[in-house]
Amino acid sequence: MVYVNLVGHNFEYEVYELIKVFYFGEKIIFIDNMDDYKEGILIISRLDDINGETKSSTRVYDNGNLIYEGSAGNIEKIRVDKADIKKKIRIGIKQSIYEALNSLAKVKAPWGILTGIRPIKIVHNLFDEGINEKNIMDILTREYKLFSQKAQLILDIAKEQRQYLCPLDENRFSLYLSIPFCPTRCLYCSFPSLSIGRYGPLVEDYVDKLIYELNKVGELMANKIISTVYIGGGTPSSIPVYQLDRIIQAIYKNFHRDDIEEITVEAGRPDTIDAKLLNMLKENRIDRISINPQTMNDNTLKLIGRQHSSQDTINTYYEAREIGFDTINMDLIVGLPSEGVKEIKTTLKKLEDLDPENLTVHTLSVKRGSKFIHTMDRYQVGDQKIIENMLDETRIFTEKMELKPYYLYRQKQIMGNFENTGYAKKGKECIYNIKMMEEKETVLGLGMGAVSKVFFPKEDRIERVPNVKSLMEYLERVEEMVDKKG
């Protein structure tokens, strides 16, 4: 149990997210009355104005005994991106808490005080302000407390991304189309996915409504410039091939294929991919597909609810190659139940012969909407050191295969406080992933559960426009979804 008392400020959310990094899985309780503290850890975060200087201080008690006391002064002089005084105060409070917990906890925090999903946005903001690389590194390590390895990683990725993001253009946009059906629901999944066995009879109606939404968006964006298209899920390849073909044809009806810089279909699970599907995608000039094993260990595949083997992945991959696909992404998850360094080495060894152009390495995230969060105690899950060693193996592998990091994001409840990283061979980066993650271009989300993000470059802000997450509501309210986008 961790108790927290805030004095002089109310940044409860920010403080909670940072403390959770060091006390993962512990219950964190905010108290106003010190009489509510009985035993365990107590963190007191205080903000004061002393002779015109804003100061943040932190005291930590263990069963009533003071074990740490420290402060961060001169908060007004903190140098970060978009540095208004409120942000500086927030950063100063987190710096003080970080220094306290970093000196006491056994857990490492390589991302410093950062708890958000998109750390690379900070680097882009600093570049936009004209800050040079040396000073950006200094800000990342001194103010945000990043380990130097992480700071250098996001700096290098941002430099690679800017060719795809700049110059900003308010008339440019990308499309995301959601196919929310899956053969089965994986143990770790929190997406709004639906069993194709149960909801199969509604696929045709869903595709009809999705195409209706697409046609209306086509009218809405007639004078805009389309950039990329991503068809994701769920598992898009779980629906009948002719239905997926209908969706792709509707895209081309509204937006000329030659105007689309890149189009990706997340073919996904090998047990849903066959020659008929692959030939249809190839005939429709699809640039990129994903074949996502998550692991190449058969015991783990069974454990997480997959209905295919590692050999099925290999066979599907070679079939796609024979049909002519020259850009294939594969997804892996590090930290799956019962996996350690030995298992990730097995997975990487099997991928070495396949030599994909893209590899996305996810660190397992314990999400609220997944089965896993309710059944964690049944499984053996690696600690922070094991996950770190597994990620080190993936980095060694990607360097050997000439795959360079090109996008990165983090998630809440991510195991070990690490990250998800996309790697690509030179010139094979997924442009949609970059634009979606860095939020520097409008992305219109179509279908159940999809979220549109309208970008306003002059203000450097986005406005979220979510579609409903219920299938039946989407079928009944699709016109409302269109009107909200308008």
Looking at residue 417, its pLDDT comes to 79
Looking at residue 326, its pLDDT comes to 94
Q: Which helix (H) or strand (E) holds 404?
A: strand 404-409
Looking at residue 52, its pLDDT comes to 78
Rounded to 10 deg, the angle between the 85-104 and 12-22 helix axes is: 20
Looking at residue 279, its pLDDT comes to 97
One-letter amino acid for residue 364 of the chain: L
Looking at residue 379, its pLDDT comes to 45
Each of the 486 residues of the chain gets a pLDDT tens digit; together they read 999 999 999 999 999 999 999 998 789 999 999 999 989 999 999 999 887 789 999 999 999 999 999 998 789 889 998 888 999 999 999 999 999 999 998 888 999 999 989 999 999 999 999 999 999 999 999 999 999 999 999 999 999 999 999 999 999 999 999 999 988 765 545 555 788 889 999 999 999 999 999 999 999 999 999 999 999 988 999 999 999 999 999 999 999 999 999 999 998 789 899 999 999 999 999 989 999 899 999 999 988 887 789 999 999 999 999 999 999 999 999 988 889 999 999 999 999 999 999 999 999 876 554 444 444 444 445 577 888 999 999 999 999 999 999 999 998 777 667 899 999 999 999 999 999 999 999 999 999 999 999 999 988 899 999 999 999 999 999 999 999 999
* Residue 325 Cα to chain centre, angstroms: 26
Looking at residue 50, its pLDDT comes to 82
Q: List Cα–Cα distances, 80 to 19, 83, 162, 267, in angstroms.
A: 21, 5, 20, 41
CB 291 within 8 A of CB 328: yes
To which CATH superfamily is domain 171-481 assigned? Answer: tm_1862 like domain (3.80.30.20)
Strands (E), 16-111: 28-30, 41-50, 53-62, 65-72
* CATH code at 1-107: 3.30.160
| Residue 130 CA neighbour count, 13 Å, CB half | 0
